[in-house]
Structure 1
Amino acid sequence: MKEIDLLDNKNISRDELETPLYQLFIYLMPVVGFFPALWTLYRREGNRQQQTVSRLSVTLAMAWLMAYILVGAGVAQTSEFLTLRLLFINSLLTSGYFLVSLWLMVRLWQRKSVRLPGISQIAEGVVRKRLS
């Protein structure tokens, strides 16, 4: 199955092709990239590729933060038996978030699509309505 790449599409304007990769890398940085991505969406700046990567970054960061807080709240209210298991789950969530962000950065470097099944649909649907 051939992946669709925005950079191969001939209908894209020249401005959209000139997005510097470092700017998209900044959006995909774990935790830190959330703020410039949110700013791009809030100000309604950037081309289509910047908007897409920003929405994905904000969605990933918010999902990680909600899961981190919920598991952390569970740690505070459980017995010692479950505390270690919940802390382990919390570390897996954080490691997964960082690895997914790194993987997306590698795909961006390779000029491949930076879409995630399920997460990209949520980003395009929910986040686009709220922030774009």
Structure 2
Amino acid sequence: MKTHDLYENPQQERLQLFVYLIPILGFFPALWTLYRQEGTRQQQAVSRLVIVLAFSWLAGLLLLEVGYQSTESFTLPMLLTSSLLTTSYFIVSLGLMIRVWKRQPIWLPGLSRIAEQGLGKHLP
């Protein structure tokens, strides 16, 4: 695992974690960090969590879209559930950013365990 001189400063590492936690856009730098196997242990753990969170949001959104397209009677509940899912994704990301700001551990029940067990074994 390589670390650059840029990441030696804890303030810059926190800034990097903030970038990872930006909803939707933070997925790409997090994926790049894991692909290159760079960054500190905490950065890699947050990257895995961000990727699992983004994929679960996207999977839920796609399933709701398929349900919306296949039935006409549940159109409004499906759209409301979709908006609730997206709002929750953004609020969870904001909550994780607040935890980074307060220097608290970044952990989500269930998703953190999936991120550590699922993605940790399959990366090159």
Same fold, TM-score > 0.5, yes or no: yes
Shift of 1:129: 1.6
Is 1:28 the equivalent of 2:21?
Answer: yes
Q: Give the SS at the match of 1:20.
A: helix
Shift of 1:130: 2.1
Task: Indicate the residue corresponding to 2:47 in structure 1.
Answer: 54
Shift of 1:18: 6.5
How many positions carry a matched residue from both structures? 118
- TM-score normalised to structure 2 length: 0.89
| Residues 125 and 97 of structure 1, relative CA distance in 2, 3 Å threshold | same
Partners of 2:98 and 2:55 in 1: CA distance: 21
Q: Between the two proteins, what is the percent identity of the paired residues?
A: 51
Which stretches in structure 2 are left out of the alignment for 5+ residues?
1-6
- TM-score normalised to structure 1 length: 0.84
Which stretches in structure 1 are left out of the alignment for 5+ residues?
1-13
Task: Indicate the residue corresponding to 1:74 in structure 2.
Answer: 67
CA contact (8 A) 1:16 1:47 kept: no
Shift of 1:15: 4.5
CA contact (8 A) 1:15 1:47 kept: no
